[in-house]
Every structure is written in structure tokens, then in C-alpha cells.
Amino acid sequence: AQRVTQPEKLLSVFKGAPVELKCNYSYSGSPELFWYVQYSRQRLQLLLRHISRESIKGFTADLNKGETSFHLKKPFAQEEDSAMYYCALIHWVTGGGNKLTFGTGTQLKVEL
Amino acid sequence: DADVTQTPRNRITKTGKRIMLECSQTKGHDRMYWYRQDPGLGLRLIYYSFDVKDINKGEISDGYSVSRQAQAKFSLSLESAIPNQTALYFCATSDKLAELFNEQFFGPGTRLTVL
């Protein structure tokens, strides 16, 4: 069965410090992973997806199949990055369609 | 703007009561999902529907039922609410035509408290 693990419930960093939010997965197929973010009083929204190899708001994430990881990184944290971050894995359903399995989330707090 | 809406936004009910949470969307998406969010447990999938005639159980469907009344509406029911169903409930949608990217669009959430 597919699984997504985010080992840190809370990560606190100072403004300007590097950020790394950890995500590990287990999946028997070819993994496709995402990071979703939930800012205070806002809806959960997609931050980035590994298939697009993009950098959004200074964040990047590289899929490492050898280590089964998809860690989210940013070189210099900003106060506005404070939010709850969820790693998610696609699971393809027999007969067509897919669904997401989410990790338990990491609350990032950027302190001044 | 196309949107995902949920009603009610907050609800307090008593053990044993039947309650329905509603989700509507104007995005024209065919896929809809119900999740619950609990501190320390993240989002867990309750039910999902790939089109009007398709209903599937998620990982925690016990104690819940759903109805897909139309492409735009997906309701979640608690037949007999219990306190451990106290949680934040989210509806989400996704577009079949963008399946590979599978971006899900979330509603604002319904905070349910069962006393």
C-alpha cells in the first residue's frame, strides 16, 4: 500500500535561514508527488508538483527514487512561508482515475 | 471565478444525530472528493467520485455515506454522529482532462463538532 511520511510535525526556522521539509514515500509503481500548502485562514492549495520540475515561491523539490524522498527546500525562509505543508502521492486506480495520499503535514514557522 | 463551496462552514451537533455536509462546485470538474483533517493525522480520504454514477470508498469510510446528486454536487452524510467524527472536513475537485497533473482544488472546509 502507498504511504507518505512527514517526520516533523513542526519545523521552526529563522527568517533568512534555509528550509527543508522532509517527505518520504513508499509506492510500488512509478511515483508522482506533490506539495500542497495551507496558509492561515486560506484553503489548501497546490504548491508544486515534481513532474513539472518547477520552482514556486522559491521552493523546489527533487524526487530521489533511491532514497524514496521528495523533500521541499528553500534557501532563504521568509515570514510569509509560515504555513502547514503537506506532501502527497498519486495512486492510480484500476479502471481509470487517481487519488492522492497525503502525509500528516509539517507546520513551518518562520521566526523573525 | 469558478469555485468550490461548502455548507455549512461550522456545525455543532449531538451524538446520534444525522448530519449532512454539502459541497458544490462551479469548476465543471467531474471528480470530487471528501477528506477529513485531524491534528497530527493530516488529510484522510473518506469517499471519492469520478463522475455522477461513480462512488468509491476511501481509507476511512466507516460511519459515512455520500451522494453525488449532480456533477456539481457531492454530499457527505453522517448517519449517526459520534464524538470522534469531530474534525475539519474538506471537499475537493479535480479535472479528468488534467488527470496527469491531478491538481485538486479544495473548498474552505466545514468544522464539525459532535458533542
- Any A CB within 8 A of B52 CB: no
- Any A CB within 8 A of B45 CB: yes
Residues of B in contact with A9 (CB under 8 A): 40
pLDDT at B8: 97
- Using the beta-carbon criterion (under 8 Å), do A99 and B108 form an inter-chain contact? no
Tell which residue, B38, B57, B61, B40, has the closest CA to residue B48: B57
- pLDDT grade, residue A94 (50/70/90)? confident
Residues 6 or more apart in contact with residue A32 via CB below 8 angstroms: A49, A50, A51, A89, A90, B100, B102
Q: How many helices (H) and strands (E) in chain B?
A: 0, 11
Q: What is the pLDDT of residues A32-84, one digit of tens each?
A: 899 999 999 899 999 998 877 788 899 999 899 999 999 999 999 999 999 99
- Any A CB within 8 A of B80 CB: no
pLDDT at B97: 74
Q: What is the pLDDT of residues B69-91, one digit of tens each?
A: 899 999 999 999 999 999 999 99
Say yes or no to pLDDT of B102 above 80.
no
Say yes or no to pLDDT of A99 above 90.
no
How distant is the Cα of A108 from the closest Cα of chain B, in angstroms? 14
pLDDT at A88: 95
What average pLDDT does chain B have?
A: 93
How distant is the Cα of B82 from the closest Cα of chain A, in angstroms? 23
Residues 6 or more apart in contact with residue B26 via CB below 8 angstroms: B2, B3, B72
Tell which residue, B20, B18, B16, has the closest CA to residue B7: B20
Residues of B in contact with A102 (CB under 8 A): 35, 42-44
Q: Is B61 exposed, middle or buried (0-12, 13-18, 19+ CB in 10 A)?
A: middle
How distant is the Cα of B77 from the closest Cα of chain A, in angstroms? 21
Cβ-based contacts under 8 A for chains A and B: 53
How distant is the Cα of B79 from the closest Cα of chain A, in angstroms? 25
What average pLDDT does chain A have?
A: 92
- Residue A46 belongs to what H/E stretch? strand A45-49
Say yes or no to pLDDT of A17 above 80.
yes
